Chain A
C-alpha cells in the first residue's frame, strides 16, 4: 500500500472491490450460490439454451447417421462451417488462459475476480471446439485413429502433418486448462465442503477437495505450482492457436500460406475471447449481484484489452493487403480482391467493420463503462471474428489455382443448426457452472482484499 501512496492519483490502481468486502462476506456472497435453489430466470435461461443445444445435437445425430454430405461442404470448399466453428471456439477459449496465466505472471491483480469464470469458459469453449473436428471426420467413433496407438495395421500417424499437431495441441490445451482450473478450485471447494450442511453435497465436495486443509507448507507448494502452471499455460496459449494457424499456413492455398498467420491467429483468439468474457460477465454480474466484486474497473480494463487487440487486427488486415500487393503473386492478389469485392465481399467488409471499426468506440471512456456500448462491441466482435474465419477459409478455398474447380459455397440448414447448437451447449455449460461451483475464485480474491496480507511485510506485491 505504501508504494501506491507515492504515486499520483491517475497512476494508482483503483480499488478492486466496492463497499466493504471481508473474507467472510465474500464467502457468504459467492459460495452461497451453489447452496441456494436457483431462481426462476435461471431455469428459463437453461431451458432455452439446452433446447438449442438439443436441436444442435439432433442435427449432429442426423449428420452422423446420414453422412457429412448433408452439409454444404463440397469440392473445392472441403472445409467450411465445421472448421470455422472449430477455430472460432478454440479462439474463444484463449481469453480464459490469457486472464488466468499471462495476467497472473504480469501481476495484474484485477484478474483474480474474473479468472475463475474465464477459465471455465476456456474449458467449455474447447469442448465445443473439439466437437467439430470430431464430427468433421464423418465417423466420430473412429476418431481415436487420430492418435498414434499400436494397431494391427502397423501404421502410425503422420507427424509431419499440422492437423496432427493440432490434435496434440488442442488435447494438451484442454488437459492443461482443466488442471489449472481444478487446482484453483481445490481451496474453494474446501470452503464449500466446510460450509455445506447438505448430506449429498458434503461427500462430493470432500472428494473433490482431496482433503485440502490450507496448511502453510501446502500453500507454499501450491503457490509455486500455480506460478509454474501460469508460465506453462502462457507458452501453451501462444502455441495452441499458432498450431491451429499452421493448419492453414503450411498449405499452399493462396491467402493461407502466410507467415503472419500464427501471431494473427493468437491476437484474433484473445480478441474474440475477451469479447465473449465481457458479454458473459455482464450477464453474470447483473443476474448474480456481483457488482461489488466485478466492478466497472474490471469491465473497463477488459474493454481496453479488446481495443488494443482490435488495433492489432486492423494491422493484420492491412498486412494481408500489403502482402497481396507486395508479393506480386497473382493468386494471392486475386484472393485479396475476392475478400473485398468478390461473391463473399460482404463477409470481408463485415469482418473489417466488426473487428476494426466498431471497437474503436472503446477509445471513449463512456463506451468503456456503458453496458449498451460494451455489449454492442462485444457482440460485434464475436460476429466479426466468426466471419473472419469464414473469410479465411471459404474465400481462399472457393477460388484457388484451378478456375475450372471454382464453386460458390452455400451452407445448409444443418450447418447453421450445428453452429447454434454449439452456442447452446456452451451457454448451457456456463449456466450449470454458475450454479454448481464458485463463479469467483474466493481464495484468490481473499488474498487481495485490503488488510489481507500482513502490513509489516510491506508493499502490495503479491
Chain B
C-alpha cells in the first residue's frame, strides 16, 4: 500500500446551527459513520447523530447500591463478626449507626463510576493517538469551531466522495485524516523505555516504602514515644556518672530475706538446723520452690532423673538415696547456697525461707519413695 488508509474526512463549521443542519445532508451520502467535534455540548446533537442513550445512569445506580452494600457488609463484619466490641451499650450489629458511612461509600462509588466510567470506559480515554488530536482542525475544535467528520466504518472510505459531500453541506477547511502508520507501542525502543521506567518506579517506590516504614518512625518527634525522659535500667544514661541507667546498691547492702550464710565450710554447715516448723504451709511452699528450682534436674520425685534430655551430661544427685536420707539438713543448705559441681548457686533466686522449705519437701519425698508396708496399715481407717 502506498498511502495509509483514510480514517476520516473532517470539515469545519462556524456555528452550532450550521453543524446541526449539515448532519442530515451528510448522512444521506451514507459514506461512513458520522461524528462531531465541538468545543462544548450542543443540544440536539444526540438525536442528530442518532446516539443511543448513555448507559451511565444504570452503571451508577448499580455501583451506588454496591457501595452501600459494601459499607454495610464491611461495618457489620468488622463490628459484629471479626471483633465484636460493645460500645455505648449497643448491639454489635447496630445497623442504624452504619447508615452515614453507607451513604458516604454509596456516593463515593457512584461518583467514581460516573466520572471514571465516563472518561475511561464509555469514552475510551485516555487516547492520545487519535488522528483528530493531531489534525489541523483541533485548535478550532477546542476553541470556537464545530467539526463534522465522516469516519471509515468497517471497510474503506473514499476521501474524494466524502470531501465533496462535506463541501456540499457547507463545510470549510476540509481535511483528510489518515490512520497512523503503525502503533508506537510496538517500537522496541519504546518497550525498553517503558520497562526501564517501570523498574525505576519500583526501585523508587521500594526505597520510599523502606524510608516510610524503617526510617521515618525513628525520627523525632515520631520517636518520642520510645525515647522518653526517664531512666531505662538496661540502657545507658547520662544522668549518673558511671553512664548506667541501673545503679548498683551501696556496698554492704543486704536485701530482705537474703542474709548471708553463717558457716564458712561444709562441715560447719552440717551443724545447721532447719529453723522452719514442719507445718502444712511450709511444706506447700517447699513443694513450690522445689518444683520451680530443683525438679528440673533432680526430678519431680527427687530421684535424680532429670526432666532434661540425655544431651544434659551432668548427673544430678539422687536425693531419695540412702546417702541423702542420712545427710543432715545443713548439707542441702550448703549446696543450695554455694552450688555443687554442675549445680549453680541458688542464693540469688531462692530466699532463705524457700531454701529451708524445699529441704523439708525433700524429706517428704524421701519418706514417700521409701515407704514401708507398715505405712499402709497405719493409714488404714
- Write the residues of chain A forming the contact surface with B, with a CB cutoff of 8 angstroms: 22-24, 27, 64-66, 139, 141, 148, 154-162, 164-165, 168-169, 172, 175-176, 179-180, 182-183, 186-187, 190-191, 193-195, 206-207, 210-225, 228-229, 232-233, 235-236, 239, 243, 246, 443-444, 446-447, 451-457, 461-462
Stretch at the interface among B40-48, B268-276, B281-289: B40-48
B144 interfacial contact with A, CB 8 Å = yes
Interface contact A195-B103, CB-CB below 8 Å? no
Q: 24 A-B pairs, CB-CB below 8 angstroms?
A: A64-B221, A65-B221, A154-B83, A156-B83, A159-B78, A169-B100, A176-B107, A194-B139, A213-B130, A214-B39, A216-B35, A216-B49, A221-B54, A221-B56, A221-B118, A223-B41, A224-B118, A225-B114, A228-B114, A229-B114, A243-B104, A446-B39, A452-B16, A454-B20
Task: Flag B107-130 by CB within 8 Å of A: 1 or 0 each.
Answer: 110111011111100110111111
Which residues from chain A contact B56 at a C-beta distance below 8 Å?
A: 221, 224-225, 228
Which residues from chain A contact B117 at a C-beta distance below 8 Å?
A: 225
Which residues from chain A contact B42 at a C-beta distance below 8 Å?
A: 216, 219, 447, 453-454
Interface contact B104-A168, CB-CB below 8 Å? yes
Given the contacts A194-B142, A218-B123, A228-B60, A156 and B79 also touching, CB distance less than 8 Å: yes
What distance in Å separates the Cβ of B190 from its nearest Cβ neighbour in chain A? Answer: 16
B138 interfacial contact with A, CB 8 Å = yes
Which residues from chain A contact B87 at a C-beta distance below 8 Å?
A: 158, 160-161
Contact of A23 among B51, B108, B144 (CB under 8 A): B144
Chain B residues touching A, range: 35 or more
Majority SS at the chain B contact face: helix
Q: How far is the CA of A391 from the CA of B78 in the complex (A)?
A: 37
Q: How far is the CA of A453 from the CA of B75 in the complex (A)?
A: 49
Name the residue in A27, A172, A187 with the highest tally of chain B Cβ atoms < 10 Å from its Cβ.
Answer: A172
Interface contact A457-B107, CB-CB below 8 Å? no
Interface residues of B in 11-49 (CB under 8 A from A): 15-17, 20, 35-46, 49
Stretch at the interface among B90-98, B199-207, B308-316, B335-343: B90-98
B241 interfacial contact with A, CB 8 Å = no
Interface contact A216-B100, CB-CB below 8 Å? no
Q: Find the A residue at minimum CB distance from B131.
A: A213
Interface contact B60-A214, CB-CB below 8 Å? no
Interface contact A165-B100, CB-CB below 8 Å? yes
Interface contact A194-B54, CB-CB below 8 Å? no
Interface contact A457-B104, CB-CB below 8 Å? no
Q: How far is the CA of A136 from the CA of B222 in the complex (A)?
A: 15
Contact of B133 among A211, A232, A451 (CB under 8 A): A211
Which residues from chain B contact A228 at a C-beta distance below 8 Å?
A: 56-57, 60, 110, 114
Which residues from chain B contact A207 at a C-beta distance below 8 Å?
A: 126
Interface contact B35-A453, CB-CB below 8 Å? no
Interface contact A27-B100, CB-CB below 8 Å? no
